[in-house]
Amino acid sequence: MLESAGSRTEHREPAITRENVTAKPIDAHEPWMRGLHADTGYLLYRLGLRSGQLFNACLQESGLRLRHYAVLRFLAGTDGALQRELSTRLGYDPSAIVGLVDDLEKLGFAERRPSPDDRRSRIVVLTGSGRDFLRDTDEAGLRVTGELLGPLDPAERESLHALLLRIAEDGLN
């Protein structure tokens, strides 16, 4: 578009909006894509994002996210945990744990109780409703995993899981 501003003429490009930008499918054979796909760390990052997006979509109805699920899943294997333990074990910021536990308490999935070892401390425990919720989400988790790992046969899925577990045990501690 040309506009006259005094004696000079200015050219303005139309604003870029979602409506006038169409996403082109990614061509895996483009040189820049081959470079990214040669980077295992990038592939793990992208698959992790996709996995989180799919699982969060499954959890969306309940108002929870993957981080809430991780807290619930951790609590399912314990008799309760201090918030600072949840923070350390899950790798979440302590202030984030407070909000996550608040959310879970509001839904009745977890509750804070006095610690038997230190009455000034509170432990977070999973409730019966929290256990029911986890049981119900197990199927959704299997669907997400099935979608992500669809191109692999069962033996390849097992191998991938074993390799990722070995990396996680070493790299996340």
CATH code of the domain containing 106 = 1.10.10.10
Residue 11 lies in a domain: no
Range among 1-5, 31-35, 55-59, 159-163 with highest mean pLDDT value: 159-163
Binned at pLDDT 50, 70 and 90, residue 10 comes out as: low
Is the CB of residue 9 less than 8 Å from the CB of residue 2?
A: yes
Domain extent, residue 72, equals 38-157
Over residues 83-117, the pLDDT tens digits come to 999 999 999 999 999 999 999 999 999 999 998 88
Is the CB of residue 87 less than 8 Å from the CB of residue 106?
A: no
Residue 18 has pLDDT above 50, yes or no: no
Residue 163 lies in a domain: no
Residue 145 lies in a domain: yes
Residue 21: the pLDDT is 47
Residue 152 lies in a domain: yes
- Through-space distance between the first and last CA atoms of the chain, rounded to whole angstroms: 58
Is the CB of residue 157 less than 8 Å from the CB of residue 96?
A: no
Residue 32 lies in a domain: no
> In the structure encoding, which two tokens stand for residue 46, read together?
């992208």
Residue 24 lies in a domain: no
Residue 118: the pLDDT is 82
Mean pLDDT value across the chain: 83
Residue 9 lies in a domain: no
- Would you say how long the chain is, in residues? 173
Residue with tokens 């949840």: 86
Residue 22 has pLDDT above 60, yes or no: no
Residue 158 has pLDDT above 70, yes or no: yes
The number of distinct structural domains making up the chain is 1
With a CB cutoff of 8 Å and minimum separation 6, the contacts of 81 are 74, 75, 89, 123, 124
- Alpha helices per DSSP H over the chain: 31-37, 40-59, 66-76, 83-90, 94-106, 128-148, 154-171
* DSSP-based three-state secondary structure for 58: helix
**pTM, whole model, 2 decimals?**
0.69
